[in-house]
């Protein structure tokens, strides 16, 4: 379970391999439901930081790609809007409650799982124990029960 003072989080999101297929330095195809899920999380009050190895023009292309699809970030490669390397308290380490990255241990979960985990404040353990329960219940049903189960 996530233990937060309030229910809103600051979430750092990688770009290549997370929002789009990893074709760096080019921009790959958008991963299914990535932008929609991130926009939904913003609607719920979460702050999103684009957290990418990209810099300069390549970074701006990623920002533009997202903005063209209606996704605007709280900050880009920083903790605050327009934060720069010459700021008094600048640090390259992003301060976030959660990081979404294709290089996670275990890889990038499906965007539906990511949303469910954040929205319901679930852990991987919570998600996988539910999968085990669903699998056990599915094993007890016949073919038609499996096809039409909720």
Q: Are residues 39 and 67 in the same domain?
A: yes
User: Do 91 and 139 lie in a common domain?
Assistant: no
Residue 3 — very low, low, confident or very high, per pLDDT cuts 50/70/90?
very low
| pLDDT, position 65 | 98
42 in a structural domain: yes
Whole-number Cα distances in Å, 137 to 140, 141, 144: 5, 7, 13
Task: Tell me whether residue 114 is in a domain.
Answer: no
**C-beta of residue 94 within 8 angstroms of C-beta of residue 12:** yes
Report d(CA 31, CA 29) in Å as an integer.
Answer: 6
Mean per-residue pLDDT for 125-132?
A: 77
Query: Residue 137: what pLDDT?
Result: 52
- On whether both 44 and 84 belong to a single domain, the answer is yes
102 and 133 share one domain: no
Angle CA 34–35–36, to nearest 5: 95
At 98-116, the pLDDT tens digits run: 999 999 877 899 899 999 9
Residue 58 included in any domain: yes
With 0-12 / 13-18 / 19 or more C-beta atoms within 10 angstroms meaning exposed / middle / buried, residue 92 is: exposed
User: Are 40 and 70 contained in the same domain?
Assistant: yes
Q: Looking at the domain assignment, is residue 68 inside a domain?
A: yes
Structure confidence at residue 123 (pLDDT): 85
The verdict on 25 and 56 lying in the same domain is yes
Whole-number Å distance between alpha carbons of 68 and 126: 35
Structural domains counted in the chain = 2
pLDDT bin (cut points 50, 70, 90) of residue 1 is very low
43: containing domain: 10-109
Distance CA 35, CA 22 (A): 15
Q: For residue 5, what pLDDT is reported? A: 44
Query: What is the mean predicted confidence (pLDDT) over 130-147?
Result: 55
At 99 the three-state DSSP class reads strand
């Amino acid at each position: 379970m996530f233990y937060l003072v309030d229910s809103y989080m600051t979430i750092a999101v990688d770009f290549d391999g997370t929002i789009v297929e990893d074709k760096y330095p080019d921009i790959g195809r958008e991963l299914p439901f990535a932008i929609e899920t991130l926009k939904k999380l913003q609607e719920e009050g979460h702050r999103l930081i684009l957290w990418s190895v990209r810099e300069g023009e390549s970074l701006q292309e990623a920002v533009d790609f997202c903005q063209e699809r209606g996704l605007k970030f709280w900050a880009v490669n920083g903790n605050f809007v327009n934060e720069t390397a010459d700021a008094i308290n600048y640090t390259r380490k992003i301060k976030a409650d959660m990081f979404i990255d294709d290089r996670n241990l275990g890889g990038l979960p499906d965007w539906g799982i990511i949303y469910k985990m954040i929205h319901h404040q679930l852990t991987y353990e919570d998600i996988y124990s539910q999968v085990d329960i669903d699998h056990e219940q599915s094993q007890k049903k016949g073919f038609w029960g499996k096809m039409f189960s909720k």
